[in-house]
């Protein structure tokens, strides 16, 4: 059994405040996340190893967007998202 059998996967947009490293202007940016929530029950056909892995599994989310574009009209440069974790547990 694979890990994705233990989770329900959904895409979400969340708002984060970030500062452009080029112009220094803060702004609200929409960041795309893949949210994986643990299922309520273990899927059918699981053996003892799968039951142990399912018991340890936690819901988490993975950041999908890496580079962002500055919202300042005069700057508009792209920068990497370094202030946010790439994986966060729920």
pTM: 0.79
pLDDT digits (tens, 9 = 90+) for 34-86: 999 999 988 888 888 888 998 899 999 999 888 899 999 999 999 988 778 88
Closest CA to 37 of 57, 15, 17: 57
Domain-wise residue ranges, the chain: 7-89
Give buried/exposed letters for 39-64 (b at 16+ CB in 10 A, else e).
eeebeeebeeebeeebeeeeebbebe
Interacting residues of 2 by C-beta distance below 8 A, sequence separation 6+: none
pLDDT digits (tens, 9 = 90+) for 9-37: 999 999 999 999 999 999 999 999 999 99
């Amino acid at each position: 059994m694979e890990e994705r059998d233990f989770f329900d996967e959904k895409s979400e947009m969340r708002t984060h405040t970030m500062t452009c490293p080029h112009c220094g202007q803060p702004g609200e940016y929409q960041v795309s996340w893949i949210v994986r929530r643990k299922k309520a029950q273990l899927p059918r056909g699981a053996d003892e190893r799968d039951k142990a892995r399912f018991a340890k599994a936690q819901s988490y989310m993975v950041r999908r967007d890496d580079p962002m574009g500055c919202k300042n009209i005069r700057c508009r440069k792209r920068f990497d998202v370094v202030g946010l974790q790439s994986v966060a547990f729920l």
